[in-house]
Structure 1
Amino acid sequence: MNVCQQILALDAIFNTYRAQVNPQHRTLYIRRRTQLLREIANKDIDHSVRRQYLHVRKLILSKQHGPISDLQSLRSRSTSIPSRIGSVEQSFESVQGNDHGTPVKTHRRYQSNGSFQFLPPNVTMTMHEDLPLHGVVPTKKAEASRKMAGDKSLGENYAFAGMHHVFDQHAEAVTSIKFAHDEKHKLACSSSDGTLSICDLLPTPPSVTCFLRGHKAAIKDFDWSVANDFIVSASIDGTSRLWSPSSGQCLRVFSDAYLCPVLSCRFQPLNNNMIVTGNDKAHVQVYNTSTGKNVKGGTCRTTGAVLSLAFESTGTILWIGDEKGCILSFCFDIATGRLQKGKRIVVAYGCCITSISYRSWINREARDPSLLINVADNNLCLYRVTNEEGALSLKRSFQVRHERLGIRSSFCPLMSFRQGACVVTGSEDMAVYFFDVEKEEKSCVNKLLGHSAPVLDVCWNYDESLLASCDTEGTVIVWKREQRKYNI
């Protein structure tokens, strides 16, 4: 079963490159792959055969699309399954082939994020300009990045054409919003009124297609599964729930073991059969979605109420932000769900950590894995991830009005393909802010005004054509970014 999960994870990582003009096909592809892998998971098949299949498939996909930094970081960043991942990675050094199918020895170098970068024999480490994105040393003079961005500044690339639509289906604050993975027009919202809503932005006019009802109190957080077939939610009624967004049905209820409000939740990114929740009494719990039971060894305690959770992309590190201003990292065993304590950092003592977002690399000039953190001391902080245990080092901080509410932020999804890197955040002064993380002065590149209440959360769809923001009055604004031509 573990090899099947690795196969699915491999397909999920490369899925962005499939069916570029029709993202719905990517979703259908992953759903079908999930179904087939579930069917063969319990069959009596030699594990060596499955590992060999994983190995060959990885080579084919890497040759077709190029090596992926997140994929290559599996070996070095995994703490619980090194033998399985290692056996796949090690063979890369000699199996690369040329156009005639003849094996050619490749070169590799160790990157700052702990991954190996593989280069063809005819490419040296001194080449910077106008080469394929993978296997190139990043440089601030990269002309390719500027051409991809249409020769526009970062601020011009985040200019907006106005409001695409305004939703007001919730009677109380909208606490969190998220576009479905690889979906341009499907948006979910959670609210303090105890419901979630699923919105479709196409066909026009946009509409609310489904309400998820069942919680008896405010919903503080939710998350989409990788294939968008499930949603998990966390509520102060002391439960987390698993939903089918297509039917609106509640599939399972997870009652908190300590009978206290549940404030945060996340799917395990490589194994959506597991979810992680954090409660008001400083406990983190791992559940099996099939059985509804706690995973043995999947419980840990923090220094305060767990307000935010974030996984590293390979699922082997979990970061937890609490009400005491601390971030704790835990090593997550994907096979068993066990948690092992890693590092602890005090960001701002006594100030809530209301949001954590992970990004494997910022842009061509800054490839360090990073965390974006909202702290209730009027700061948005960007941290580097410095080792395999999740230790952090502060890179930048930005002033944002944030003192008492659950403000959230997000990395901009396409920032790795152009010069400069941008993040976006809500604020208590009713504005949406965009910051260039590489700019030392005047880092605010744009500011959106339109809300009449504090903005709690912001999110992008996968191609950055639409940005959604929500506020404490229950209003959701979908902003339309100006369309520009890119020379890709």
Structure 2
Amino acid sequence: MAAVWQQVLAVDARYNAYRTSNFPQFRTQYIRRRSQLLRENAKGGFDPLLRRQYLKLRSQLLAQRYGPLSEQSSFRTYSNSIRSSRTTLDRMEAQDFEDDLRAQGARGHRRSVSRGSYQLQAQMNRVTYEDKSPGSVVPTSVAEASRAMAGDTTLSENYAFAGMYHIFDQHVDEAVPKVQFANDDKNRLACCSLDGTVSIFQLVPTPPAVLRVLRGHSRGVTDFAWSLSNDVIVTTSLDATMRIWATEDGKCIREIPDPDSSELLCCTFQPMNNNLTVVGNNKHNVHVMNISTGKKVKGGSSKLTGRVLSLSFDSPGRILWAGDDRGSIFSFLFDMATGKLTKAKRLVVSEGSSITSISARSWISREARDPSLLVNACVNKLLLYRVVDNEGTLQLKRTFEIQQSANPVHSIFCPLMSFRQGACVVTGSEDMCVYFFDVERATKAIVNKLQGHSAAVLDVSFNCDESLLASSDAKGMVIIWRREQK
């Protein structure tokens, strides 16, 4: 029940900007001490019912003292706070920043909570920021203290993955297009294969083992997604169906045919409502599906210019990006109340070049504050875009040379926010290597390069504490890499 204490901290952090308005320095001290006490209390054997009653009472008292938060803001806080304690504050801070970004269009309407969020973040990180433009913060030269807090380790040292921890080869001869660790989990991993199955692995205790294999699709499985609580996996397949699986026993809960009777190529959960899943198909359509009813959501469909190959929500679930095989990235506004999609923007990356992977991130690191989109396209480059407004408009920020001209290669942001200088992204490549790039380094951006695959590396995934990295390739090999211990 540690999640309840995380929810308590989330509520306190939301109201923290209103505390001691004449002495803002005490807000940082208060929230740190509050976090410490809640972590200590979480270790005790308190009655779960009492914890929930305390959370309810605490929320009511804070609302009476400072006024109620908006319903949408409270819902986002609650949803984010149930994730692991390691990243709770990071995600709340990221949410605050996105709130501030949206407020740029109405400067005169900014509330003190937005400015308070910046002050709190700057004090907690011991970093001095200067405002370059409304809603934009960048680190100054005084930021060295934040890196010292992280032990003065370099980005290269932090991502010194070297040895192979384990190799899974039960899918050999059929590509493994997706590999992903469970949410906030160090040891549980899944992968899907074009042989029509999904494997769930347990990496600890040693030796690593296959927990279960999900069988039922009649053709290759193209994509899958873990639910937030990891109790359900959704899969899409070339057999024109999506399936919902219980991870505890591997049983198929429901089979849902594609509304267009077309091959399904990708899927993603709506981050704020895991009852809704978005799928993309071979007939250029995206559909919002209710996995409880097995039906398409009214107004939750839209058409792209080509086959839908990749999908990604921003963390609050308000913007959905979709990439197709004609080289376009579309942004959609998602209505939280109805599930309706509204087409907002379109960006042509390269005409006719498939967009095979999209990953959204609120902040790349504590010192790289722009909401960003990481994109793989078949142009032999990894692309990093800055999200410039609340309609998902993209502005190219960096490109990194990789080999990708035909295969569905994927990439990821490193999961942990960091005090270190620089920020890291990881990608597969058709040259059979895994690349780590520092997105803040102007030259020689490659931080690490892993060699061991015998085919194009299609996907990569970190566990929650970045101690293990999984990679999969076009011949079905899955390699688990271990961070080099200092």
- TM-score, structure 1 as length reference: 0.77
1:156 and 2:180 matched? no
Which of 226, 236, 239 is the equivalent residue of 1:237? 239
Aligned partner of 2:115 in structure 1 is: 108
2:416 and 2:388 map into 1 onto residues whose CA distance is: 23
Correspondence 1:20-419 to 2 at 5 A: 68-73=92-97, 75=99, 93=113, 108=115, 117-119=118-120, 127=128, 138-139=139-140, 141-171=142-172, 172-419=174-421
1:148: how far off? 4.2
1:260 and 1:374 map into 2 onto residues whose CA distance is: 24
1:467 and 2:469 matched? yes
2:421 and 2:158 map into 1 onto residues whose CA distance is: 11
Over 3 Å counting, the alpha-carbon distance change for 1:167 and 1:65 in structure 2 is closer
Letter in 1 for 2:171: H
1:450 and 2:452 matched? yes
For the 8 Å contact 2:367–2:419, the answer to whether it is kept is: no
* 3-state SS of paired residue (2:311): strand
Letter in 2 for 1:444: I
* 3-state SS of paired residue (1:143): helix
1:472 and 1:66 map into 2 onto residues whose CA distance is: 35
1:247 and 1:226 map into 2 onto residues whose CA distance is: 18
Over 3 Å counting, the alpha-carbon distance change for 1:52 and 1:447 in structure 2 is closer
Percentage of matched positions with identical amino acids: 52
Aligned partner of 1:112 in structure 2 is: none
Over 3 Å counting, the alpha-carbon distance change for 1:78 and 1:24 in structure 2 is farther
2:160 and 2:89 map into 1 onto residues whose CA distance is: 31
Superimposed CA distance per residue, residues 124-167 of structure 1 (whole angstroms, 9 cap, x where no aligned partner): x99469xxxxx996335522343244323212221124011111
Superimposed CA distance per residue, residues 17-37 of structure 1 (whole angstroms, 9 cap, x where no aligned partner): 89989x999xxx9xx99xx99
* 3-state SS of paired residue (1:212): strand
Over 3 Å counting, the alpha-carbon distance change for 1:262 and 1:373 in structure 2 is same
Letter in 1 for 2:209: S
Aligned partner of 2:21 in structure 1 is: none
1:415 and 1:447 map into 2 onto residues whose CA distance is: 21
**Regions of 4+ moved over 4 Å:** 17-21, 48-59, 64-67, 73-79, 118-123
Greater share of helix: 2
For the 8 Å contact 2:90–2:417, the answer to whether it is kept is: no
2:378 and 2:127 map into 1 onto residues whose CA distance is: 43
2:123 and 2:397 map into 1 onto residues whose CA distance is: 35
* 3-state SS of paired residue (1:297): strand
Letter in 2 for 1:215: H
Which of 416, 426, 429 is the equivalent residue of 2:428? 426
1:221 and 1:353 map into 2 onto residues whose CA distance is: 15
Aligned partner of 1:436 in structure 2 is: 438
Over 3 Å counting, the alpha-carbon distance change for 1:319 and 1:121 in structure 2 is closer
1:54: how far off? 8.3
Unaligned runs of 5+ in 2: 1-6, 15-34, 57-66, 82-87, 104-109, 131-135
Over 3 Å counting, the alpha-carbon distance change for 1:210 and 1:341 in structure 2 is same
- What RMSD over aligned residues (CA atoms) do the two structures have, in Å? 3.9
- TM-score, structure 2 as length reference: 0.78
Superimposed CA distance per residue, residues 207-231 of structure 1 (whole angstroms, 9 cap, x where no aligned partner): 0001111111111111111111111
